[in-house]
């Protein structure tokens, strides 16, 4: 047996718990590095919350400390500022959209107020002319109350006391009550 001969007991290591390093083990760092947060995880909303939680408005020195702290936590300020710019653009677009909606609604309100004003003017004119016609119409003597018994089945509480058909000597008060819609008294 030679010095370099292989023995059966040499194939088995004496201590089973001992693991020798492999080639892949030499490519990994000995100390695990702290993991950096992905850029999207710390947003500008988080930064706003941080500033709001402070008891008072931060001074320039305190802001410098906050920025250094964020950088030491592997939070890139450029990413936070980019998120702030994007949020600002979204808020500005939404603000402009709401302003446009308000302008559109204000135009509708102005149009409706103009229509309302025209209707109020028309109503005033209608009432004024109607009252003039009512004052100009000759007053008729009040007719005596009918003496029909209340048990009479021919009378209805909704029936008119006067007949709608004019007699030969009476002219109707309006063309509609005479049944001649739109025709004057001489048009027969």
Domain ranges of the chain: 34-107
CA distance 16 to 116: 98
The residues, ordered by sequence, that sit 6+ positions from 96 with a Cβ below 8 Å of its Cβ are none
Please spell the DSSP secondary structure of 34-83, one letter per residue: PPPPPTTTS-HHHHHHHHHTSSS---HHHHHHHHHHHHHTT--HHHHHHH
137 band by pLDDT with thresholds 50, 70 and 90: confident
Nearest to 43 by CA among 72, 86, 94, 89: 86
CA distance 6 to 3: 9
Nearest to 50 by CA among 72, 80, 30, 29: 80
Question: pLDDT tens digits for 55-104?
Answer: 888 899 999 998 998 888 888 889 889 999 999 999 999 999 999 999 99
Lookup: tokens for 3: 């010095």
Nearest to 72 by CA among 42, 45, 52: 42
Whether the predicted model's global pTM rises above the 0.75 cut: no
Lookup: tokens for 156: 């209805």
Of 39-43, 85-89, 136-140, 160-164, least confident by mean pLDDT is: 160-164
Of 29-38, 51-60, 114-123, 134-143, least confident by mean pLDDT is: 29-38
State residue 179's pLDDT score. 47
Q: Which residue has the tokens 């892949």?
A: 24
Evaluate whether 141 touches 170 at the Cβ level (below 8 Å). no
Evaluate whether 36 touches 74 at the Cβ level (below 8 Å). yes
């Amino acid at each position: 047996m030679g010095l370099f001969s292989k023995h059966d007991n040499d194939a088995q290591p004496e201590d089973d718990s001992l693991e020798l390093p492999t080639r892949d083990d030499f490519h990994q760092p000995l100390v695990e590095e702290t993991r950096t947060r992905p850029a999207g995880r710390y947003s500008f909303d988080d930064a706003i919350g941080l500033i709001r939680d402070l008891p008072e408005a931060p001074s320039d020195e305190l802001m410098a400390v906050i920025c250094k702290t964020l950088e030491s936590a592997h939070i890139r300020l450029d990413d936070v500022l980019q998120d702030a710019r994007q949020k600002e653009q979204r808020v500005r677009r939404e603000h402009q959209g709401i302003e446009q909606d308000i302008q559109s609604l204000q135009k509708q309100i102005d149009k409706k107020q103009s229509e309302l004003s025209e209707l109020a003017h028309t109503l005033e004119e209608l009432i004024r002319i109607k009252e003039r016609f009512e004052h100009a119409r000759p007053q008729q003597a009040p007719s005596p109350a009918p003496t029909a018994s209340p048990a009479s089945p021919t009378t209805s509480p909704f029936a008119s006391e006067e007949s709608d058909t004019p007699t030969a000597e009476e002219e109707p008060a309006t063309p509609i009550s005479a049944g001649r819609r739109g025709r004057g008294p001489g048009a027969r």
